[in-house]
Chains A and B, each alone.
Chain A
Amino acid sequence: MWAFFHKLGSPRWFYGIAARLSPWCWALALALILIGSVWGLAFAPADYQQGNSFRIIYVHVPAAFLAQSIFMALAASGFVFMVWKIKIADMAAAMMAPLGAAMTAIALLSGSVWGKPTWGTWWQWDARLTSMLILLFLYLGVMLIRRAFARPQSGAKAASVLAMVGVINIPIIKYSVEWWNTLHQPASFTITERPAMPLEMWMPLLIMVLGFYAFFAAFTLTRTRTEILRREGHKRWVKELFEERP
């Protein structure tokens, strides 16, 4: 178990395994997002209350899921990096953070254009929306603090700590719709509260969610390989690798 853990932490080993895994992840993401998009946009039936605006759910919910999952991944990577000094955890965290920030922005934007026809407003300072906006600021903080130090090692530690502290916002986002009265819960989730959401409606959503997670995996694997070359370019194994296959 520990041997496996440390092997996984070795950039050289990760570089190889990520090379084998990433094409499958990209292909899976492309297939799932393509199928989910066509199904969600053209084939899923319109909602009986919201009409066609509910089709925004197929991008809004996967983006919001990823936004929160990636922040939890940042906190977990930060923990692994701080406790076991595993560099690959920090590299992956640095590479995935911008995707998390972008997904938060997409969740906010798609929620906003969904809110207009559904609630009659683009924005409301309610608990769910505000806590998601805070998540965006936390992402920006984690990304910026990394670059705020002369020594990269100090930036990596600061980013890890901020991610571990900031992750407290995730349960707040999750329970915001239960703890406070918000616009979000009654208006947007009537669809899921219906006892039987038809399969033609939830299946494309499931496919899109899985597609987004596959995209996240592919994105992180590919970018972490690039980051390994950037940081470990002077190592002998990298030189040998490039001499074999220039």
Chain B
Amino acid sequence: MKKIKHFLLFFATLLIWLALSLSIFGARESALAQKADPSSISDDQVNAIAKNLYCPVCENVPLDVCGTQACEQWRQVIRQKLAEGWNEAQIRQYFVDQYGDRVLATPPARGINWLAYVVPPLVILAGVWILVQAFRSWKRPLTASPSLPEPENLSPEVLKRIEEELKKR
């Protein structure tokens, strides 16, 4: 009975973890911007979008903090598009079309890129499974045959003798 309880506990934690991951993964779209000229778009509006884009010229540095001229031009493009009334999703798509998937902070979940999201949870689940199996096999012998000697368990006496032998050498 207790065992079941433990497993429930185990899987409950797991489920919570999965639920947490999924809920955070769900992206939210913000509907920004009305029609206006570029100067009416604030730096913060531009940065909010730039934060999640990566310029191939400076790898691994988000667009909003990158100082190169190329990135400066990109931010101008975002400002222009915002002024034209595009929303964040459209602008991101524009950059993907222009420069490829690498501009996105995370790989888009299609094609082989599914693997990026599927493999870690699977490996972790496999780890859980191995752990559960290990727990089971560790528990069993004690209930089934408590005095079963493991062959390579050296008794204290033998170990002591080994130590002595070693000291003599």
Query: Real complex partners, A and B?
Result: no
Chain B residues with CB under 8 Å of chain A are none
Chain A residues with CB under 8 Å of chain B are none
